[in-house]
Amino acid sequence: MRKTFKSMLLCVGMALCGVMAYAQDPNFYIYLCLGQSNMEGNARYESQDTTVNPRFQVLSAVNNDEVGRVKGKWYPARAPLCRKGTGLTPADYFGRTMVEYLPENVRVGVVHVAIGGCRIELFQKDKREEYIKTAPDWMKGILDEYDNNPYERLVEMARLAQKDGVIKGILLHQGESNTGDKEWPMKVKNVYESLLSDLNLKTEDVPLIAGEVVNADHKGTCASMNEIIATLPQVIKNSAVVSSAGLSCASDHLHFDAAGYRVMGRRYAEKVLGMMGIRLQTTEDVIASTVPASSNMHGCDFPRLDKDNRAYFRIYAPDVKRLQADVCGVKYDLSKDENGWWTGHTNPLVVGFHYYFLLVDGFSVIDPMSCTFFGCSRMASGIEVPEGSEGDYYRTKDVPHGQVRTCTYYSKSQKRFRRCVVYTPAEYETNSKKRFPVLYLQHGMGEDETGWSTQGYMYNILDNQIAEGKCEPMIVVMESGDIEVGFRPRPGKNVDEERNLYGASFATLMVQDLIPYIDKTFRTYTDRDHRAMAGLSWGGKQTFDITLNNLDKFSYIGGFSGAIFGVDVNTAFNGVFTDAKAFNKKVHYLFLGCGTDENMGTESLVKSLRGLGIEVDYYVSEGTGHEWLTWRRCLNEFIPHLFKK
């Protein structure tokens, strides 16, 4: 009977072991983090430090109501990792970098126990009690959170972590309080060997990675300790030291600042990954696997694009504390190395043209390595993410090319000089007797008259179509539209009324000044049958406002993602749509287009117009939003229909 009972116990034990083995994920890599204030986290964390890949986890060693953590539970490893009131640590960007380079099926977890101001003796089993007797009063409250035994708390949490994953290494940042102590490496060895023994770990499987304190190159208060830290690999076979050279620090020259912690964490990861045979991507690697953006300044290697359309940035700014790339409103943090170079990359970008800025310590500026474009009501950097062969229609080809010129003229209605951009087809220069029809082409809010010829590549679209015989040779005129500065209603005024006034001055200018100037200066046909107007976004609204109130001057109309909201087709523009037969006779071609990923109400407007019998051509750009690629495609679809009657 006893033998049978023992057999049953053995079977149950084996079954439990099997359950535990099954629960433990060999692809969950766990790292123990210990030390004093620099490991605890002394720099204030920022918003960028609170968003983290869920593959990076922290096992809370204490209760922390600041971020809603409970001791002994796993959480996404957003700052602060250690305990309430602490800040950024090297462990933050160690984990982020690890999951960036490890396979997608691998998770990384940290068990984090650190005490600001402590000596290494606090983690030595036989020295802890004696050391605590001499601990300063301010440290006692911190020690209470760990039941006056941070080493035992680390072991307790590590054992919990071992049920879920595999301990792969130990990260140490300590030494400031032991500056000048030549016995420090042996004391660290004592802590390391105790951890291995208590957790049943092997030296060859679990390396110890120790970081230098603030370096002498930043006048580190304890920089002399780095000479002692450097000897650690002589004492512990499977260990490595992380350099602090070039890393920025706080004003006390004792703690790193946030930028320093981020780079230090990346260096910890570089050491650990290197032991796995994984090398962090270098600038040379990036250059080899990417191509410069076509929108770069001539001779500039960055920004660059990889095969997945990620944009890579590299900028020299040694005195900057924080640098971000703001691409279409999404902010990407760049990392600074010890030489002052900032690098980073975006998520995959959709094809087409994108405005972007650099945020230098929170201040928005243009990238000196990018060509600039007027957009967002200011000069902006831009990056062109190329399409495949489907984008050939706007690329430069070996065909006869027209000219794009800037013209200055005087506006009597506004009593000032103005500027317009004019495209003339190649034939304009070779056939001095021929007259040409005119398309007036408008940009959107926050852009200007240069938009269509820089961001829009309208000259290539026209050159290519004319050369292929797809569209008629025509003159294209682009003006500012008086909407360079974004819509800002005046205080105390009705917003709807203010919106209707926004850019309204352009209608008078166009009819009284611009059209007469163009007809006088260029060889144009001056009748309505040879005059068209189209615009994107707010320029689309202006197009409707101007053309539908002046059908004696226009017979071709186009709106590309037009801001034509709330139009009652039964009453708008003096009821011009209510007599469909008369409208269709007057307007030779009406075009409305938009992207699938935007909501400008274009489809609804088309349905309403068609319901009244209005002939309108509708185009949808697949996979694009309120952006230049949509509008290039719309222009490409629009112009073949012009001046055919």
Catalytically active residues, by annotation:
37, 252, 255
- Cβ burial of 269 (10 Å; 0-12, 13-18, 19+) is buried
CB 112 within 8 A of CB 82: yes
CA pair distance 520, 257, nearest whole angstrom: 65
Please name which of 423, 417, 486, 425 lies closest in space to residue 454, comparing C-alpha atoms: 423
Cα 516 to Cα 139, 412, 452, 474, 532: the distances in Å are: 82, 11, 22, 17, 15
Which residues, at least 6 apart from 333, have a Cβ–Cβ distance to it below 8 Å?
48, 322, 323, 324, 344
CA pair distance 384, 406, nearest whole angstrom: 24
CA pair distance 481, 137, nearest whole angstrom: 69
Which residues, at least 6 apart from 390, have a Cβ–Cβ distance to it below 8 Å?
none
3-state secondary structure 271-322: HHHHHCCCCCCCHHHHHHHCEECCCECCCCCCCEECCCCCEEEEEECCCCCC
36 DSSP assignment: S
The alpha-helical segments, DSSP class H, found in 146-207 are 150-162, 184-198
How crowded is residue 101: how many other Cβ atoms within 10 Å of its Cβ? Answer: 16
Q: What is the largest CA-CA distance in the chain?
A: 117
Cα dihedral 294, 297, 301, 304 sign: negative
